[in-house]
Chains A and B, each alone.
Chain A
């Protein structure tokens, strides 16, 4: 059985089973405030250390500029419009790589999940591919696709294709055989079988795959834009580093991290919304 390992990498924690959240009778405002304070405590601690260390001269500001400087530079980059150039280009690359991965993975994954034999044959290869680091293949991508856009999108594609593919396969494979049998006995058409029975059952798994891939598409940007780029979020990090514009560089890193967290958060929300029906059924 091919475990969908990646799933766990970016999964947010489920409900805490050991300590079910107490349904307190406190005023909601207070508890929200408390939650916010708790959630931001360590973050604030780290950020203030980041601010203080260079300000107090404990770390050379040339190496680590104060947090406020980095944010200030980021704001300036937004004001000058420079940032939007990078964002647009990177989203284009990530988007294309991601879409290509989806367009490939969902049909192929469905096919492979459905045909157990083919899945058995292909699985070892998929495991090998998934466990091969993109960076190790970096020179190969450059050799094959040159320095242009193709190789950048190919790199993102390589990073994003496996989570969706493996999750689609497992989702389809683990679709309840009883439901499939009964749908068949009711004389469902082949297309109907997929659209009405198999895919809905595989949806949670596929959605997890999509979310992981989307997050990876952002993470891959830095590697993809290491060579031959003249704009993009990954590029700007290297670019400002070359220029010793260290606050700008950290501004870029902050932005890419925020973007990754944001995309992950939105997709988790989307995922839980779209899979809510399942919980309702199970609980009902």
Chain B
């Protein structure tokens, strides 16, 4: 029996600890519950309408969210931006569909592919677009590389940030444009985050890399050269990156969408007119070196041009990446953009 008593002894601290854990968890759960409550309370009171956005991280260009906030456009429109945390670009569409964020935006091809795959979203306002100096993507190799033309790329190793989308299809389109039919499989693809690609190129692991950077900044590094950019393929229409909402959000709060579109289109025009100021704001808010931020060109008045959508629908359907019946009007609308009226 003595043994028995000894055995029960250790049970007490366990119970105590279990209780502590329980307390910890319940406070945690309570905390979550509270968050949800306050969020709901916020929307029922006549405060600003909240728009949940992915936190801009690892910025290489201007963040028009930050610019819009700093200029006071957001507040004026009765809106409030809530940043929910970084969202990987591959998860953007899913996060919007799942209602975890309200707005997503990346290269238009992601929106098209998502909608074709059944994502109920729609692009409502344009952001950056390609110019000769500031293309969406530049394909880069070492200065002494023998790669000079599309034909030289055949059989080589091409490093891109991810499969699919602009990363993969821009080089295909370049090969196609230069008379190389059926370019899929004509070169080997290696994926790695953009910041790793340059190192891989310099170490000879890949022969050509795709970067979302300006030719001028790439050339400035001295040991690199630009083979082509999306401007060489499509001029200005290839690099659209409009923002989209879920159809559900648009249906429930068309007025919020309208005000948001207005904010963005005003911001676009401001950025184009004052790139230095926009860079300064982005650098300050993002806590980064202004020299590392490029002054993207933004679509005037945030207008989504039908050609910029069509060009990618054509390319993606050519490679059976999307369903054949996808139409531009499934992808975008300018109807919420009052500045165009």
A245 within 8 A of B: yes
Contact of B191 among A60, A228, A246 (CB under 8 A): A228
CB–CB A245/B117 < 8 A: yes
Complex contacts, B278 vs chain A, CB 8 Å: none
Q: How far in angstroms is the closest Cβ of chain A from B131?
A: 27
A82 within 8 A of B: no
A78 within 8 A of B: no
Complex contacts, A229 vs chain B, CB 8 Å: 191
Q: Which of A62, A239, A241 has the most CB of B within 10 A?
A: A62
Give the bracket for the number of chain B residues in contact with chain A: 20 to 34
CB–CB B118/A62 < 8 A: yes
Q: Closest B-chain residue to A146, C-beta based? A: B205
Complex contacts, A147 vs chain B, CB 8 Å: 159, 190, 192, 196, 200, 205-206
Give the segment of B34-42, B72-80, B162-170 that binds chain A.
Answer: B162-170
Complex contacts, A246 vs chain B, CB 8 Å: 117
Q: In terms of DSSP, what is the predominant structure of the interface of chain A?
A: loop
Complex contacts, B116 vs chain A, CB 8 Å: 244
Complex contacts, A62 vs chain B, CB 8 Å: 94, 97, 114, 117-120
Measured between alpha carbons, how far is A245 from B164 in the docked complex, in Å?
A: 11
B90 within 8 A of A: yes
CB–CB A146/B200 < 8 A: yes
Measured between alpha carbons, how far is A74 from B94 in the docked complex, in Å?
A: 21
CB–CB A227/B191 < 8 A: yes
Q: Closest A-chain residue to B168, C-beta based? A: A242
Measured between alpha carbons, how far is A284 from B321 in the docked complex, in Å?
A: 66
Q: A60-B97, A142-B196, A147-B192 are in contact. Are A243 and B163 (CB under 8 A)?
A: yes
Complex contacts, B159 vs chain A, CB 8 Å: 147
Measured between alpha carbons, how far is A44 from B321 in the docked complex, in Å?
A: 34
User: Residues on B close to A: CB < 8 A?
Assistant: 90, 93-94, 97-98, 113-114, 116-120, 159, 162-165, 188-193, 196, 200, 203, 205-206, 321
Could you write out 11 A-B pairs with CB less than 8 Å apart? A63-B94, A146-B200, A146-B205, A147-B159, A148-B205, A227-B192, A229-B191, A230-B191, A239-B163, A243-B163, A244-B117
Q: A147-B190, A229-B191 are in contact. List 13 more A-B contacts (CB 8 A).
A: A60-B98, A62-B114, A62-B118, A62-B120, A63-B97, A63-B98, A147-B205, A227-B191, A227-B192, A230-B189, A243-B113, A244-B93, A244-B114
